[in-house]
């Protein structure tokens, strides 16, 4: 059984872009579980002999996201049950938001090992966001650009010891 790594984060931080980057052309299947975890996509990632299943989630992207944090959390909670590690993605260009902090607080209370990913870190525009993300209390961020494919090797370096 391959290790399973789940991608978590607020809307628009680049979770699905990271998923596609990691899975490449080998997008395996769409796994819909209506009413439980909407839009939960799974795929196989493989690099340098390391192979794992990646799960893209939209649990924090509910239409009523602002008013139903409990429900969003419940959806993500179901999704992380079977996962061996989580990648928590923030947008280094936008900087931290209250929802990022809420998700981080929740993740810190969970047992699952977390890799903090500061996405959209290409160029100078992401630098302050990367630094800011240390304050989430989830360890050193991995700065990367899912869109441009930069920093992905660092991500594997961070995942390798925990899965």
| Partner from ligand GDP, Mg ion, none binding residue 120, C-beta < 5-8 Å depending on class | ligand GDP
| Partner from Mg ion, ligand GDP, none binding residue 122, C-beta < 5-8 Å depending on class | ligand GDP
Closer CB to Mg ion, 89 or 136, in the complex: 89
Instruction: Say how far apart CA 42 and CA 31 lie, in whole Å.
Output: 7
Closer CB to ligand GDP, 11 or 82, in the complex: 11
Structure tokens at 93: 């260009």
Please check if 57 is assigned to a binding site: yes
Q: How far is the CB of 110 from ligand GDP (least distance, A)?
A: 20
Q: Where are the beta strands (DSSP E) in the chain?
A: 4-8, 29-33, 37-47, 50-56, 85-91, 114-119, 142-143
Stretch that binds Mg ion, among 8-16, 102-110, 111-119, 127-135 (CB under 5 A): 8-16
């Amino acid at each position: 059984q391959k290790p399973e790594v789940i991608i978590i984060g607020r809307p628009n931080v680049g979770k699905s872009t990271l998923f596609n980057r990691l899975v490449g052309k080998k997008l395996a299947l769409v796994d819909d579980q209506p009413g439980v975890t909407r839009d939960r996509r799974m795929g196989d990632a493989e690099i340098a002999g390391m192979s794992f299943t990646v799960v893209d989630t939209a649990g924090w992207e509910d239409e009523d996201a602002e008013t139903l944090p409990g429900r969003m959390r419940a959806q993500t909670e179901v999704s992380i049950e079977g996962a061996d590690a989580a990648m928590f993605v923030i947008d280094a260009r936008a900087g931290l938001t209250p929802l990022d902090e809420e998700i981080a607080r929740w993740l810190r209370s969970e047992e699952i090992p977390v890799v903090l990913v500061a996405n959209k870190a290409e160029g100078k525009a992401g630098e302050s966001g990367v630094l800011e993300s240390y304050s989430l209390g989830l360890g050193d961020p991995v700065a990367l650009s899912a869109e441009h494919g930069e920093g992905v090797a660092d991500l594997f370096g961070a995942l390798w010891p925990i899965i």
